[in-house]
Chains A and B, each alone.
Chain A
Amino acid sequence: MSYRITLPEMDTFTAWRDVARRLISANIPPEEVLWSRGAGEKDLFARPLPPLPKSTIPVPKSFVSLARLSIWHCDHTRFHQLYALLWALRSDRTLIEDRGDIRISRLNRMAKEVGRDRHKMHAFLRFREIGDPDAPRRRFAAWFEPSHYTLEPALPFFTDRFGDMDWSIFTPDLSAHFVDGKVQLAEGVDKPDFPIDATEDLWRVYFRNIFNPARVKLTAMTSEMPKKYWANMPEASEIPDLIATAEARVRAMADAAPTVAPKRAEVIKARGKTRDD
C-alpha cells in the first residue's frame, strides 16, 4: 500500500519540496510514494497522504540546485528519483559530491538536459509584434515547443530582459503572460496564428549576408541548432538556399579576374600620403 502525490503543473518545485519535507519527517521511504504531475491516472491501490507536520530539513546546497533543474525533466520518474536521493542523503551527506554514483550522475544528466533545453529556449525563441508599435508598452508574442517542462524555469531570463514591453509565450504545456511588469502562468494552447511582422524580412536579409559561403560547416550548425527548432525561426527558411548556392558563389569569387581599382582609390590614397608628409 503506497501514498499518491499529485503535484501541480505550476510552481511544481515548491510543491514537491513541501511534500518531500513532510514525507521525510514522517519517515516514509521512497518506495511507498507514487508521484505524478497534474491529473495523473488513478492508482487503485494508492492511498492519500495523511496530514503530516510541516518542517524543514537540512540538505547540501548542491542538492537544491540539482533539484531545481531536474524537476522540470520529462522523465516521469524524476520526482521519485529526487525523493530517493533526498532519502539517501539522510545517512550519507557526502553522496551528493560523488559524481561517479549512478543516482547522482543520472540526475545530473537530467539537470543538464533541462539546462540545455532552457538555454535553447532563451536562444531560439522568436517574438513577433502583435500590438500597436507606437503604444507606450508594445506587445509581442512567441510560440515555442520545449522538450521538457522548461517554460517556468526559463521565465526569469525573459522578465529580466524584456522589461519595458508586454509579451506572451505560448507552449503546448503552459503559457506565460507578462503584462505591466507582472508575469502570470496559464494553460497551454495549440499553436496560435500571429500577424506577419515585417522586421522578420530584415532579419532574413541579415542572416543571408552574414553567412560566409567559403566556410560551410553543416554539422557545426546542426549540432548547435538542431532542425527541430527551425520551424519557429524566421531565418531558418533561408538555410537550404544558402547551402545550395554556396559552392557556386565561392567558385565565382575564385574565377573572377582581378578588377581595376576605382578611380577614387588613387585620389584618396594620394590624399592620405600628403597628410602623412
Chain B
Amino acid sequence: MKKIIITVSVLILLALSSCTTMKAVPNEKAIERFIELYNTGDAIRITEMTSIPMLIDGEIVARDSDADSFWNSLAKAGFTLNGTESYTVEPLNPKSSLYFGDSMEVSTFFTKYVPKTAVLVRVEGPGGDFILLLSGRKGPYPFIFGFTGPLL
C-alpha cells in the first residue's frame, strides 16, 4: 500500500512539474537555468521556450519561424550572456515597456500579451546590459516574452 502511495505521489509530482503555465513568477533558480540554457546556444530549445508573439526591441515577432531564425542568428554569432550571478530582477511596473521602445505597439504588447507575473531580468552581455522578459514555466525553464539590448 505504502509503495502504491509513493508511486502515485511521484507520478503526480512528475505530472505537475511538467505542467506548462504562463502565469508563474520565475524564481532565481528558473532564471539561472534559463541563462545557462541560453548560453548553450541551443536555439531549438530556446525557440520552444519562446512565447509567440514575442517582443524584440520594438518589434513584435508574430511567427515562430522569425523567432527561430533570430535565436539561430544569435547562436551563430556566438552571443552569450555573462554568468548567472551578475543579474538583477525587476518586477513589472508601468514603465517596464520603455526598455523596449516608446510606441503604441510596445505598450499594447505589454498590456495584451505579457502576464502580470513577468519579471525583467537585467544581465550583462557583449556591448552592455540586456533585458530578458520572463514569465511562467514549462519544466525547469521560464518562457521568454521579450528580449532587448544592449541598453544605452
The reply to whether chain A is a binding partner of chain B is no
* Residue positions of B touching A, CB distance < 8 A: none
* Residue positions of A touching B, CB distance < 8 A: none
